[in-house]
Homo-oligomer: A and B are copies of this chain.
Amino acid sequence: MLNRENAVVLSSGGMDSALTAAIAGRKYELNLLHINYGQKTQERELKAFRDISEYFKAKKTLVVNISHLKQIGGSSLTDNKISITKADLKNKKIPSSYVPFRNANILSIAVSWAEVLGARKIFIGAVEEDSSGYPDCRKEFFEAYNKMISKGTRPGSGIKVLTPIIGLSKKEIVIKSFELKAPVHLTWSCYKNSRAACGECDSCGLRLRGFQLAGISDPIKYIKIPNYI
């Protein structure tokens, strides 16, 4: 078999990025990048990242610790003075969990790594419709990001960010994850706890609603499973 082209895949430990890695892995050699940015469930997410990397037999893995998003603050995910709000899936405002410009920070690390690896594709599991209204999860953000990459890297680097699941709903993500055998059982999404998922934060709410709409039961453990549909 010919050597496959390298790709960098951002892997948070969550379900969306696990599906994204499954999609990328059908064509590319996987180099998985995980960012610890001081989020409260950092250790649990790192464990999920390691389990997922092993599942996919990643060629390389890179774990980067950044402290500045926590230093800078402004989000309930990193700032202990701001509490995690309960899921309010009808609220269209930007929630307290928004980390200012997080995806731009994370992607810039991925681009630096891709440039050194000689990889031309960076996969990120951003989801627009279901993404709690974070501005840096939208298609137009990634389009603008790609234009910026083409101006800011060596001529001919050809590096591009791909968002293969950006248009999917959580229900579709659940269904596709099982179709492509993404390791859903190894993933972690909860913003609040680290032993069993709380079932009540924004992230648990979105995830559980997806499973409930798909009529599939979520293989991970929850403290509480409210009905979201």
Interface residues of A in 76-94 (CB under 8 A from B): 94
In the complex, chain B residues whose CB is within 8 Å of the CB of A100: 111-112, 115-116, 153-154
Q: How often does this chain occur in the complex, in copies?
A: 2
Q: Is A138 an interface residue (CB 8 A)?
A: yes
Q: A116-B72, A116-B73 are in contact. Are A152 and B148 (CB under 8 A)?
A: no
In the complex, chain B residues whose CB is within 8 Å of the CB of A112: 68-69, 72, 74, 99-102, 105
A70 to chain B, nearest CB (A): 11
Whether A101 pairs with B94 at a CB distance below 8 angstroms is no
Q: Is A144 an interface residue (CB 8 A)?
A: yes
Q: Is A3 an interface residue (CB 8 A)?
A: no
Q: Is A147 an interface residue (CB 8 A)?
A: yes
Say which residue of B99, B109, B140 sits within 8 Å of A151 (CB atoms): B140
A216 to B62, CA, bound (A): 47
Q: Interface of chain A, helix or strand or loop or mixed?
A: helix
In the complex, chain B residues whose CB is within 8 Å of the CB of A155: 135
Say which residue of B66, B67, B72, B151 sits within 8 Å of A135 (CB atoms): B151
Chain A: interface residue total (CB-CB under 8 A): 44
Whether A109 pairs with B141 at a CB distance below 8 angstroms is no
Interface residues of A in 107-141 (CB under 8 A from B): 108-109, 111-113, 115-116, 135-136, 138, 140-141
In the complex, chain B residues whose CB is within 8 Å of the CB of A42: none
Say which residue of B62, B68, B71, B145 sits within 8 Å of A148 (CB atoms): B145
Q: A67-B65, A68-B64, A148-B148 are in contact. Are A154 and B94 (CB under 8 A)?
A: yes
A105 to chain B, nearest CB (A): 4
Q: A94-B154, A135-B154, A144-B151 are in contact. Are A101 and B108 (CB under 8 A)?
A: yes
Most buried by B among A68, A71, A149, A150: A68
A residues in contact (CB < 8 Å) with B:
62, 64-69, 71-74, 94, 98-105, 108-109, 111-113, 115-116, 135-136, 138, 140-141, 143-145, 147-155
Q: 6 smallest A-B Cβ distances: which pairs?
A: A100-B115, A144-B148, A136-B152, A74-B116, A141-B151, A64-B68
